[in-house]
Every structure is written in C-alpha cells, then in structure tokens.
Amino acid sequence: MSNTAVQAPVQEFKVFEESEDSRVYRHTTSHILAQAVKHLFPEAKLAIGPAVDNGFYYDFDLEHRFTDEDLAALEKEMKKITKQNIPLERFELPREEAIKFMEEKDEPYKVELIRDLPDDAVISFYKQGDFTDLCAGPHKGSTGAIKAIKLTSVAGAYWRGDVNNKMLQRIYGTSFPKQAMLDDYLNMIEEAKKRDHRKIGKEMDLFALYDEGPGFPFFMPRGMVIRNELEAFWRKAHVERGYQEIKTPLILNEDLWHRSGHWDHYQNNMYFTKIDDGDYAIKPMNCPGSMLVYKRKLYSYRDFPIRMGELGQVHRHELSGALHGLMRVRTFTQDDAHIFMLKEQIKDEIIGVIDFIDYVYKLFGFPYHVELSTRPEDSMGSEEDWELATNGLKEALEEKGIEYVINEGDGAFYGPKIDFHLEDCIGRTWQCGTIQLDFQMPQRFDLTYIGSDGEKHRPVMIHRVIFGSIERFIGILTEHFAGKFPLWLAPTQVKILTVTEQFNDYAAELEQKFREAGLRVETDGRNEKIGYKIREARNQRDPYILVVGEKEKEAGTITVRSSKEGELGEMTPDALIAKLTEEIETKAC
C-alpha cells in the first residue's frame, strides 16, 4: 500500500486551517471582533477571545442580547477596521500598573485574569488604534492582514467554564486569507447542515434520543438493520484475520480500575455504583476485561499472536453541552480488539492492523491521513518502554510508506498511538481508527507466557479500533452518504410501488420472490397517487424503487429506478435480483 492510495485530496482552506499561522490569524480576528463590539456597544465588558479549531470566539458581558442583525453590523464594522490597516503594537506593564490600566478601562474580567497571574509574570498588551487588550500574543502585524471574515453564531458561556459564574455571550466566527477559502468553507458548512445525521436519522426513523436518557441513543428497527449489517461485516472480517470474539461485563469492581490505571487517569469520565456494599464501576473501556480473559490460562510463546475482538459497550461521562446526536454520546459500542504478542512480532502485527483499517476505509470510499501521538504528561511507565513502543509504530508506518504527522504528547496514558483521520465526501475529517501499543497493562496485570527457554516472560499488547464507535460511525456514514446508504447497508433495499390497489396481488408475489432471495423489501400498496408514493420512497432514500401496473403485470416485469443510476426501465425480477445480489456481495458504494 503506497501513501498515494490513502492520502485525501486537500482543499486550499483546509491547508490554511492546518497551518501554524491559522491560529495567529484567527486570534488577531478575535481582537478585531472585540474592537468592533466596543465601537458599537461601548458598555460591553471583555472576557476572553481565543482561536479555536476552524475559527475563533470572544466572550462578552453585555445586558443587550446579540441578534443576527447585530452580527451583520459587527461584521461590517470589522471589515471597516481591516480596511484601515491598523498596526497591532505590543507593550508590557508591571503587574500593579497592568491592574490599574484595566481598572481605568472598567474591564473587571481582565483585572481578574491579571490578578491570577504569578507576581513575576510578564504582562503584555496589544494595541490597535483606539482598542487595547490584555494578551500574550502572537498576532499579525496589522488588521489589514485579515481578508475574509464571517461571524457565525452566538451562544451562552459561563465565565471560565464554571456554572457558578455569570453567563456571558460568546460570538463565534471564522476568517481566511482569501474570500474564496471562506466561500469554500461556508459551502461545506451548508452542505453539512443538509447532511446532518440527526435530521436524516429522524426522517428515515433510524435512531432517537430522549430526554429520559440524554446521550443514550435508541436504535429503531431501520437503524438496527444498518447496525447489524456493520457488525456482521465486522465479525466476518475478523474471523478471516484470525481474531477470536469475546464479551466482557459492563460492570466490574473498583479494584480492577485501580489496577488498570484508569482510576488515576480517567475516573472523572466514569460512572460508579454499589453492589453488596462493594464499589463498582461501569466500564469506560474494554481493555481491563481483556486482561482478565488472557489471565485465565498460561500461554506458550508458540500461541502468539493472540487476537481478541470485542464489540464492547462502554459508558463515559460527557458534559450535556458536548452531546451531539450519535457523534458524542454517553454510551457507545467500541469495535475493540486486543492483540497479545512477542516483542519481535510488534512490527508485523501493526502492519496487519494498518492493512485491515485500510481495507475497511477503502470499502466505504474514505481517504485518510495518519498521526502518530507520543507520550503525554499524564502517563505511566518507563521512558525506555515508551521509546520502544513509539519506534515500533514508526517502523511499521515507514515500512508501509505512509506519511504521518507527529502529534506530540497526545498518546494514551499507557502508550503511544497511531490515529487514522478519515475524510468524508464534503471534506470533513473524523478520527476513527487507532492503534495503541502498550507495555504497561501487561505489567500491571502481571501477564506472562512461557518462552522457548521454559521461563516466564511478559507479552506486549495492541489496543485497536477501526470504526471507533459503532454509533458514531453510523452517524458519519449517514452524513457521508446523505442517507443514501450502499445497498448492503440500506434498511430497505427494494421498495415496490403499485400504480393502483388492483396490482397489490402481483406486488405481493414479487415481494415474496425478493424476500426469498435474501433482500429487504417493502411494498406500498396504498390507494395513493403513484407520484406521491415515488416522492415518499425517494425521501426514505430507498436504493431501488419498483413500479408495477397493468403493463408490468401482463409482461411479468417491473419498472426499476435506482437512486444512483436513475431510470433503468423494465426488467425481469430475476435479472434485478441477480444485479442486486452482485452489488451486495461486492459491497459496492
């Protein structure tokens, strides 16, 4: 597999977003927003205004509630400021002078920020014309560097993220060096709205989220078809690659999570309960269960590699404001696997997983790029083990000829990892697959095997997912295909529509024939106009719509319309069944 086989084409605006300059650029734009707000609403108090992924925001304390009309006026004022090409000038003040300076400007939030800085901190400000802000920088040289601006929304935000503090108003926006980049970005956002999996999921009756269980999705019968097909594909592909499937419990005692290291590194994201006066945790990850499965017997070096796969449901606490359809939930199913191996098998096993992930993403038509994440500050284990693990991942990537970016300090607490960021059809990226090499858990659980010398040795292990989360992957697929799933995944593969009710008997015969061929088929025999039925079937994104009337019944045929190929005309049922069977078997997308 060459790197060209997996590298996604990159749009110009995305190249900018991934550059180091983008955050400086957006941070400068946030200052221009703050200056515009102070021009139009002088009574506004300034909080903070950082650059974030895809844009920036600034928080304001203002009695007036910002409206869409205000955003338009602020955009106009910001463009006026950029045309003035005002220099941004940095200066520093001693701590007490800085406090006095902000007090004179009646900026209480800035005063609070300064008071929280160390006594010996360098306190810097940036001035642009009639506006000055507390800021560490860096910034662009002048407001004229900012060429294209869009304010996107207003939201509430507690000061310093603390619910006990005052609710401020947060204005979000983005900016680019070219108007064409901004246009491309906004077009992508608009297309994303049309493809929103929450909207499509409701229209197609795939899943639902209820107030009785925020962040805990319900799957409807049609959604379960997609889920079951994905899981069946997962199982078959894993059996073909030598994996054994296991299932571990949802709840295990607290001691296990101390042993695994999750208690020290992850407890704030966990749920807990009591059983028989003992403390238990609802699992946030599947790996400790796999450790116990491994420990049930003593292995020989001849048994390796041992590949265990699990579709394991996990629960993780997410803040309510972070929940988003199937993309961010509080319970999900990881397509997990844990591979136990000898040190000399590390590279080959990692290459095997890379090839597996490549196979799956290509099947769905996803290009992807790769990041290698190194040791975080909050980690466990020796420097020697981390270096060995990191080099093992590097060697595998380099042998496959895959370009990768180093993501310093973003590894798991127990080992470095390779992350796969797939790209959907409108250019958005999603981190799904991951390969984590772990020397720590085998030590913490005292995993051993009998080596060729008859002595006990310690295995190495890989943590690995491909979909990442079944729920999230379904959300991604829903948006990628805009609900028009490949035939093998479609909840209803064939929809039979009768011109009038007198052809319902013929439709019933056809339905039985398609069902016996293993196809998912439904008939709409209602006394409705055929145009209405066709529109409804299209809204349900059914891949094949069959119309039957007098002509079709007499000839023993069907008139076929494909959502991908358009009108296919008259066909015999057997010819269509053969076509659909081949499309399903090849999993064509």
- Give the three-class secondary structure for 485: coil
Q: Order of strands, edge to edge, in the sheet holding 251-253?
A: 251-253, 278-282, 271-275
Three-class secondary structure assignment of 75-133: HHHHHHHHHCCCECEEEEECHHHHHHHHHHCCCHHHHHHHHCCCCCCCEEEEEECCEEE
The candidate with the shortest Cα–Cα distance to 234, out of 319, 312, 331, 161, is 312
CA distance to 207, 269, 447, per residue, from 436 (Å)? 31, 20, 18
List phi, psi (to 5°) of 275. -135, 125
Q: In angstroms, rounded to a whole number, what is the distance separating the alpha carbons of residues 583 and 64?
A: 58
Per 3-state DSSP, the chain is made up of helix, strand and coil in percentages (nearest 5) of: 40, 25, 30
Please report how many Cα atoms fall inside a 13 Å half-sphere around the Cα of residue 251, on the Cβ side.
8
Name the residue with tokens 């005052």.
Answer: 166
The candidate with the shortest Cα–Cα distance to 524, out of 547, 485, 497, is 497
DSSP class of residue 383 equals: H
Query: How does 406-423 read in b/e, with b if 16+ C-beta sit within 10 Å?
Result: eeeeebbbbbbbbbbbbb
DSSP class of residue 566 equals: E
Which amino acid is located at 534 in the chain?
I
Which amino acid is located at 18 in the chain?
E
Q: In angstroms, rounded to a whole number, what is the distance separating the alpha carbons of residues 30 and 151?
A: 10
Give the pairing type, strands 449-450 and 299-300: parallel
Q: In angstroms, rounded to a whole number, what is the distance separating the alpha carbons of residues 504 and 521?
A: 14
Q: Token pair of 244, please?
A: 């054994």
CA distance to 62, 228, 271, 514, per residue, from 314 (Å)? 42, 18, 10, 38
Strand stretches in 357-428, DSSP E: 368-373, 405-407, 417-423
DSSP class of residue 298 equals: P
List phi, psi (to 5°) of 419. -110, 140
Q: In angstroms, rounded to a whole number, what is the distance separating the alpha carbons of residues 80 and 74?
A: 10
CA R_g for the chain: 29
- Rounded to the nearest 10°, the torsion over CA 404, 409, 414, 418 is -10
List phi, psi (to 5°) of 308. -115, 125
Residues labelled catalytic: 287, 316, 334, 336, 338, 417, 463
CA distance to 88, 170, 582, per residue, from 152 (Å)? 25, 11, 46
